Each structure stands twice: as C-alpha cells, then as structure tokens.
C-alpha cells in the first residue's frame, strides 16, 4: 500500500516514536505537582515547549499545547475575539480556511458577531488587496489566514496580510497546520496554530501560540493548565514526541521538501498528459512541496478512491459523495473549479519515486474504466 | 475571480445564487432542456456533454439540477470545454436551471 494522504495525517516520525516510548516511562506524572516524578514530567514538558517555541519563532511563555489543531484554532479564534471585544466584533477570514476556522466563526456569528469572508482566485489564493481592505474596516477584532491550503496546497499571502493587519492594529491568526515542519513559519503572526500529527508527531497535540501583548481571554470555563489557556491534563509523552518530530522534520525539511516537490511537479505535468479531461487545481508554483490535487471530468470521486484503494493507493478527495456531508468541498466551490472526480495526493516523508511511477501507471486505466461504466467514452 | 461576502461560510448555493446569478427570468429561452433533477454529479455534466450538440452553435441548453455540486460543476465544465455559462436561475421547487451556450 502506497500511503499518499499525508495532508490528512503524516505517519509517526521515527524520532517521535523513540521520544514517545521514552517519555511514557519518564513523563507520566502530573507536571503541576511538586514531587520528583512530577518535576521530571514538568521538565520534559517545558523542554518540549522551549523546543517548539524556538522552531516556530516564539517565546516559550507564548506557547500552549492543546489536544488538537482544531482545538488550537477554536481557542485561538474565540479567545482572541473575546479578548478584543472592546475593539469590535468583526472577524475577517479567507474563503478556503480549514472548517475549524469557519465553524468557530459561525459560533461568533450566533453570538451576535460578524464574519466577513474574503474570496480567492481560481488557484485558491486569497485576494491580498481585498483582505487588507476588509481588515482596515472599523470594528475588526481579528483576521485569520492559513499559511497554505489543506485541499489544494496553494500558499496564502500571509506576509501581505500581516502588514495590513499591523497597519490596522488588528491581530492576525495564522493557521500553519499544513506547513509547519515543511516550510518556515512566516513572520508577522499574532496568534499561531498548528497540529503535531500533520508533521509526524502523534495525534492529540496541537499548538496555540499567542504573542505577548495580544489580548486573549479563554472562551471556556477557567482551568489553570497551560497558562490558563487550555483546559485539562497535558499529555506530556505525546507533547515530547511532537517536539522531537518537529525538530527532526525541520532539519530534513529543505532537502525532503525539494525531493517531494519534484515528484509533485511530475504528477502535475503527467496526469493531464496521460488522462484526458483532467484539471489540475491549485497554484503550480506558490504551493506546498508535497501536495497536488486534480479533478477528472465525468468521474465519481468515490469510485475513483475505491479503485485506487484496490490498486494499493491511499488518497483523499474533496468530492461531495466521499465526504460525510452531501455538499462538495467549500474550498473547491470557492475556487469555482470542478468538485466531482477530485483526488488529493499528498506525499509523506520518504514517498518514493517508484510509488509515483506506479500511481501514474494505474491512474489512466482506472479513470477510463469508471468513465466507461457511466457510458462516457 | 474573487468574491467578498459577509455571512456564514458554508452558505447554501441558494445564497450564492442570490448574489451571483441573475435572479430574473432568462433573456433567451433555451433551445433544449435537460432534466437532471435528482441526479448526482457527475451525471448532470455527462448528460450535458452528451446532448449539447443537439442545439445549433450559439444556442442555449438549460440543465435542471438539484445536486449542490452541479451549481459549481456546470460552470467549471463550461470553462474547461470553452462553452459559455450564461446564468443560473433558481427553480421554485429547489435546484437550478443552469443555462449554457454552445460555442462551437
């Protein structure tokens, strides 16, 4: 089985596995207590915090660990909106943000707030001018922008957005879930969120960093863990493993990113050559190194995924028939590109050229067979 | 293309329709109507591709569809196939009449 769905979750990095096994023995106690085993857990936790802080360009006291990337986004969005209530109730986001951002925004709307969604180009890149204009309107409490899109890989204009936010005095939440460990963290964020299992850490660890000076108030009941930012007992062994994975990935990122990016270029060039009526979507240049998405006309996404699975390939799709809802992906909709017959290929660390050769070898016949079963020749 | 909009992210295509498409009656009556109501994508697109050549070049085909994917996919098909998406009109019973001009 060739696993080509790293954007859903990256397999555990060997460095994380070693760190996890060691920390299960050494870091199980309550880091808030004062006896030896507890102090040991606390030391491990604080060392991991220091390491993650350094790798994302933050101070250790700005970094909290959450139970997931989604929780980091929920707390980041709602906590900053709560802290900025006096400044206003407007939230500005891009149209192709992760659903955790948009769902947090809906909670804000239900509480009487306002959400303005800035549209994207055909390639899925947020219009930086429109974003800047929207952020500058009076009453803006928070702006949110992802570093890169999770479905099509397009990089977002974070630096331009950060400049506009700075000029307007509005905090910017940057969702780095898809790029952390793969690309340098862009500068200019006020709140940063990320997810460890996307960079090869274990599931159940998210990162929420809030810059010193940014007003933030927990939207949840009070709890003293994680500097009063995140409720509940920390999963110290998983956090230690997450830090080890981020360290290892960041060291490998340049060389591995270049290698994976060349494989992605190959898929982008070859798929439209080998398969008729295919649209490769997302920006061809300003993109994540490891992710490519294309849509095949006249093909059901679900049939395509099933056939690729039978042929030994694990990939994902934004087509409606493959999602839990009946609606197609909001990302593809906002871009105005085909939503059916959609395939996302995202390469994990170590994906081989051989996997891609085989993928390109089986895909044309699979598409042809599905089309012919629907009467398209 | 970009859109700025205020309101929930997961807007219904109905809401998008109100904003993006002409809410009024079609200017040009379709030469052919394809009923794809109740059919899931990609079937409406396949029906359109099969039958668009039944109208003369420059003629308009109306695709009746209620799968939300069709609202995005019919215009995207037009772009890929160099036909023209004229407009999408909301149907009283739900769904849309999506008008496409045969360009060649």
- What CATH number corresponds to the domain at position B48? 3.30.110.40
Q: Are residues A136 and A272 in the same domain?
A: no
Q: Where are the extended beta strands (E) located within A113-179?
A: 114-118, 140-146, 172-175
In a domain, A62, yes or no: yes
**Are B42 and A322 a contacting pair, CB within 8 Å?**
no
Tell me the average pLDDT across B14-19. 49
Show the tokens assigned to A204: 């159940």
pLDDT value for B3: 34
Cα of A331 vs its chain's centroid, Å:
13
Q: Are residue A262 and residue A145 in the same domain, yes or no?
A: no
Residue B71 lies in a domain: yes
Q: Is the pLDDT confidence value at B9 over 50?
A: no
B3 Cβ under 8 Å from any chain A Cβ = yes
Q: How many CB pairs under 8 A join A and B?
A: 110
Distance between B13 CA and the closest CA of chain A, angstroms: 9
- Domain assignment present for residue B19? The answer is no
Say if residue A236 is in the same domain as residue A265.
Answer: no
What are the CA-CA distances from residue A32 to residues A42, A43, A233, A309 (Å)? 7, 11, 9, 46
- Give me the phi and psi of A292, to 5 degrees please: -145, 140
Give percent of chain A with pLDDT exceeding 70: 98
Residue A49, SS3? helix
Question: Do both A37 and A73 map to the same domain?
Answer: yes
Residue B6: predicted pLDDT: 36
Within 83-112 of A, beta carbons closer than 8 Å to B belong to 93, 95, 97, 102, 105-106, 109
Q: Above 70 in pLDDT, residue A325?
A: no
Range of the domain at A307: 253-373
Quick check: B11 pLDDT over 60?
no
- Let me know whether A61 and A135 are in one domain: yes
Instruction: Tell me if A178 is assigned to some domain.
Output: yes
Which of A231, A248, A265 is the last residue before a domain boundary?
A248
The CATH number linked to A120 is 3.40.640.10
Domain for residue A1, yes or no?
no
Q: Using the 3D structure, point to which of A204, A232, A248 is the last residue of a domain.
A: A248
Residue window 248-307, chain A: list those with CB within 8 Å of chain B. 277, 279, 297-300
Tell me, yes or no, whether A6 lies in a domain. no
Structural domain includes residue A147: yes
Q: Do residues A239 and A123 share a domain?
A: yes
**Cα separation, B35 vs B47, whole angstroms:** 9
Nearest to B10 among A102, A127, A337 (CB): A102
* Cβ-based neighbours of A57, under 8 Å, separated by 6 or more: A185, A187
Q: How many domains does chain B have?
A: 1
Per the structure, the count of domains in chain A is 2
For residue A262, what are the contacts with CB-CB under 8 A and spacing of at least 6?
none
What does R_g of chain A's alpha carbons equal in angstroms?
Answer: 21
A249-259: pLDDT as tens digits:
999 999 999 99
Residues A38 and A136 in one domain: yes
Please indicate, yes or no, whether residues A18 and A43 belong to a single structural domain of this protein.
Answer: yes
Q: Is the pLDDT of residue B32 over 90?
A: yes
State the Cα–Cα distance between residues B11 and B4, nearest whole angstrom.
13
Residue A151 above 70 pLDDT?
Answer: yes
Same domain, A65 and A160: yes
Of B42, B67, B75, the CB nearest to A299: B42
Inter-chain residue contact B9 with A321, CB threshold 8 Å: no
- The tens digit of pLDDT for each residue in A62-99 reads 999 999 999 999 999 999 999 999 999 999 999 999 99
C-alpha span between B101 and B65 (Å, rounded): 17
C-alpha span between A215 and A65 (Å, rounded): 18
- Distance CA(A78)–CA(A211), nearest Å, equals 16
Q: Does B24 touch chain A (CB under 8 A)?
A: no
Tallying the residues shown for chain A, one arrives at: 377
Q: Do A140 and A199 lie in a common domain?
A: yes
User: What is the reported pLDDT for A2?
Assistant: 97
State whether A158 and A292 are in the same domain: no
**Residue A289 pLDDT > 60, yes or no?**
yes
Domain stop point among A248, A281, A307: A248
- Alpha-carbon distance of A361 to A277, in angstroms, equals 17
> Among residues 27-46 of chain B, which lie with CB inside 8 Å of chain A?
40-43, 45-46
A202: pLDDT strictly greater than 90: yes
Q: Is B78 a catalytic residue?
A: no
Could you give the CA distance from residue A2 to residue A351 in angstroms, rounded to a whole number?
8
What is the domain range of residue B67?
24-101
| Cβ neighbours for B31, distance < 8 A, ≥ 6 positions apart | B55, B56, B59, B60, B61
What are the beta bridge partners of residue A287?
A154
Q: Is residue A4 a part of any domain in this protein?
A: no
In a domain, B10, yes or no: no
Structure token pair of residue A286: 């300003």
In a domain, B17, yes or no: no
Q: Does the structure show a pLDDT above 80 at B24?
A: no
CATH of the domain at A274: 3.90.1150.10
**A8 in any annotated domain:** no
**Within a domain: residue A257?**
yes
pLDDT at site A168: 98
- Given a contact cutoff of 8 angstroms between Cβ atoms, the answer to whether A101 and A267 are in contact is no
Same domain, A173 and A210: yes
Structural domain contains residue B11: no
A337 with B72: Cβ contact below 8 A: yes
């Amino acid at each position: 089985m060739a696993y080509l769905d790293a954007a859903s979750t990256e397999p555990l990095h060997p460095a994380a596995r070693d760190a996890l096994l060691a920390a299960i023995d050494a870091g199980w106690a309550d880091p808030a207590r004062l006896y030896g085993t507890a102090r040991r857990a606390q030391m491990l936790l604080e060392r991991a915090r220091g390491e993650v802080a350094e790798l994302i360009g933050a101070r250790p006291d700005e970094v909290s660990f959450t139970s997931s990337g989604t929780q980091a986004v929920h707390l980041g969005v709602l906590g900053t909106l709560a802290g900025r209530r006096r400044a206003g109730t407007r939230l500005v986001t891009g149209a192709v943000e992760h659903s955790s951002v948009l769902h947090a925004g809906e909670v804000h709307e239900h509480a009487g707030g306002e959400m303005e969604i800035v549209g994207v180009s055909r390639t899925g890149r947020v219009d930086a001018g429109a974003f800047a204009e929207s952020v500058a309107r009076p009453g803006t409490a928070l702006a949110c922008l992802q570093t890169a899109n999770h479905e099509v890989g397009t990089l977002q204009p974070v630096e331009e957005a950060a400049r506009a936010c700075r000029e307007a005095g509005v905090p910017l939440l940057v969702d780095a879930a898809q790029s952390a460990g793969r690309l340098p963290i862009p500068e200019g964020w006020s709140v940063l969120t990320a997810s460890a299992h996307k960079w090869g850490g274990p599931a159940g660890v998210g990162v929420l960093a809030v810059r010193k000076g940014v007003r933030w108030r927990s939207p949840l009941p009070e709890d003293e863990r994680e500097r009063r930012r995140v409720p509940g007992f920390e999963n110290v062994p998983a956090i230690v493993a997450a830090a080890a994975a981020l360290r290892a990935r960041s060291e490998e990122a340049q060389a591995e990113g270049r290698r994976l990016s060349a494989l992605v270029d190959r898929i982008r060039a070859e798929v439209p050559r080998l398969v008729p009526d295919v649209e490769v979507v997302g920006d061809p240049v300003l993109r994540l190194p490891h992710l490519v998405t294309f849509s095949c006309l006249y093909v059901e996404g679900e049939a395509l995924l099933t056939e690729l699975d039978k042929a030994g390939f694990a990939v994902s799709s934004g087509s409606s028939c493959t999602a839990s809802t009946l609606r197609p992906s909001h990302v593809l909709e906002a871009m105005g590109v085909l939503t059916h017959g959609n395939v996302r290929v995202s390469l994990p660390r170590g994906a081989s050229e051989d996997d891609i050769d085989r993928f390109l070898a089986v895909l044309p016949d699979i598409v042809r067979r599905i089309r012919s079963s629907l009467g398209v020749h | 293309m970009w859109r700025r909009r205020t309101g929930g992210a997961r807007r219904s295509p109905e809401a998008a329709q109100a904003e993006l498409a002409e809410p009024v009656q079609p200017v040009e009556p379709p030469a052919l109507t394809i009923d794809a109501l109740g059919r899931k994508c990609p079937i409406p697109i396949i029906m359109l591709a099969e039958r668009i050549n039944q109208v003369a070049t420059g003629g308009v085909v109306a695709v009746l569809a209620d799968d939300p994917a069709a609202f995005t996919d019919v215009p995207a098909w037009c772009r890929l196939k160099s036909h023209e998406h004229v407009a999408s009109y909301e149907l009283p019973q739900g769904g849309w009449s999506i008008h496409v001009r045969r360009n060649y």
